[in-house]
Amino acid sequence: MIAENFEYSAPTKLDDALRQLSNEDTKVLAGGMSLIPLMKLRLAAPGQLVDIGRIADLNFIHEEGGTLRIGATTTHYQVENSPLVRSRCPLLAEAASHIGDLQVRNMGTIGGSIAHADPAADYPASLLALEARVALVTAKSKREIPIADFFVDTFTTALEPGEIVHAVVVPVEDQSTGTSYQKVLQPASGFAIVGVAARIRKSGGKIAMARVGVTGLSGKPFRATQVEKALEGAAGSPSEIQKAAALVSDGVDANSDLHASADYRKHLARVYTMRALAIALSRTA
């Protein structure tokens, strides 16, 4: 199928792009890995596309004030292979390596991925476990919000009209922290049927901090706070991990589709939470 007719512009300055977003019928094009397929299926029919892929000010990875700031048009491949991300925030590099295939990772962007808010995407679980923030910008204002507040519902975010993702802001990892991202994928698309990110820090032989992000299980990604609370103060024995992981789907309205029933997704969530926690624990200093 062929997309509806649309106007196209590719500004090289951020200010120019933001000025063009005042029209409600305008969509932002970053890597195009999500929007273009929707347009070809005529599930989306914007009157104008503003391609931000040529704006150099949106493609960057740098460390600043104890955080990594990653520009919106930074590709998955760049995130996966950045020495800075690998050394300072390995969980994010690991999550990026699980996205689609090499072609998708070379074109798709971190900003485009989170703005699309697919409930089966890989980044959200890791960003939730990392307690990341999202830097947003309009022609007149800037703001930062926690990633947990950014994801509102299925394919729905806290982005306001005329606003785009400027950067993802991730706290730099303590070298004593262990992390892991584990998922069971849908073979044709590479999306997560269930994906779990774990982040653990130990102190005095006990788990001092645990963060668990989950994607694919429900209509939007979420922090498994019950699992986190069950682990904090524990030694991290296999039985303690199993008991905590069993809580991951409690109270969750699980998705059910042609790939997996709700009950099977809950089972997978428990299994992959155990795996992610065990691996993260093994990586703690």
Q: How big, in percent rounded to 5, are the helix, strand and coil portions of the chain?
A: 35, 25, 40
Buried b (16+ CB within 10 A) or exposed e, 123-160: bbbbbbbbebbbbbbbeeeeeeeebbebbeeeeebebe
One domain, residues 139 and 60: yes
Burial 181-203 (b: 16+ CB within 10 A, else e): bbbbbbeeebbbbbbbbbbbbbe
Confidence of residue 49 (pLDDT cuts 50, 70, 90): confident
CATH code, domain with 110: 3.30.465.10
Q: How confident is the model at residue 192 (pLDDT cuts 50, 70, 90)?
A: very high
| pLDDT, tens digit (0-9, with 9 covering 90-100), for 195-207 | 999 999 999 999 9
* Residue 63 scores a pLDDT above 90: yes
Rounded to 5 degrees, what angle do the CA atoms 96, 101, 102 make? Answer: 85
Within a domain: residue 143? yes
Whether residues 78 and 159 fall in one domain? yes
Q: Which secondary-structure segment (H or E) carries 246?
A: none
- Give the per-residue pLDDT at 244: 98
Inform me whether the pLDDT recorded for 1 exceeds 70. Answer: no
What integer is the mean pLDDT of 225-244? 98
Would 258 be classed as within a structural domain?
Answer: yes
User: How large is the average pLDDT for residues 68-90?
Assistant: 98
Structural domain that includes position 19: 7-51
Q: What is the pLDDT of residues 246-276, one digit of tens each?
A: 999 999 999 999 999 999 999 999 999 999 9
Q: Are residues 113 and 27 in the same domain?
A: no
* CATH number for position 22: 3.30.43.10
The residue among 226 and 176 whose pLDDT is bigger is 226
pLDDT average, residue stretch 37-62: 87
* Domain termination site, one of 142, 171, 200: 171
pLDDT attached to residue 46 = 79
CA distances from 180 to 96, 106, 119, 272 (A): 12, 23, 19, 11
Neighbours of 251 (CB within 10 A): 6
Same domain assignment for residues 105 and 46 = no
What is residue 205's predicted lDDT score, i.e. its pLDDT? Answer: 93
Q: Report how far apart the first and last C-alpha atoms of the chain are (Å, whole number).
A: 53
Q: Is 122 within a domain? A: yes
69 and 108 co-located in one domain: yes
Percent of the chain with pLDDT over 70: 100
Supply the CATH number for residue 240's domain: 3.30.390.50
Residues 167 and 62 in one domain: yes
Q: Please state, in angstroms and as integers, the Cα–Cα distance from residue 94 to each residue in 85, 123, 179, 245, following that order.
A: 10, 10, 9, 21
CA pair distance 109, 71, nearest whole angstrom = 9
Are 158 and 122 in contact by the 8 Å Cβ rule? The answer is no
pLDDT at 41 over 80: no
Whether residues 216 and 274 share a domain: the answer is yes
- Evaluate whether residue 140 is within a structural domain: yes
DSSP state of 108: -
Do 35 and 94 belong to one domain? no
Please report whether residue 2 resides in a domain: no
Percent of the chain surpassing pLDDT 90: 81
Extract the tokens encoding 204. Answer: 């005095």
Q: Are residues 73 and 165 in the same domain?
A: yes
Q: How far apart are CA 211 and CA 224, in angstroms?
A: 8
Asked if the model's pLDDT at residue 106 lies above 90, the reply is yes
Q: What are phi and psi of 210, to 5 degrees?
A: -140, 130
Q: Verify that 62 and 47 share a domain, yes or no.
A: no
At 158, is the secondary structure helix, strand, or coil?
A: coil
Residue 104: pLDDT above 70?
yes
In contact, 238 and 229? CB cutoff 8 Å:
no
* Number of domains into which the chain is organized: 3
Between β-strands 142-146 and 222-223, what pairing exists: parallel, antiparallel or unpaired? unpaired
Domain boundary at 153, 171, 189, which?
A: 171
Asked if residue 219 and residue 154 are part of one domain, the reply reads: no
Question: What mean pLDDT comes out for the span 140-153?
Answer: 97
Q: How far apart are CA 158 and CA 168, in angstroms?
A: 14
Q: Are residues 156 and 229 in the same domain?
A: no
Q: Is residue 37 part of a domain?
A: yes
Residue type, 198: A
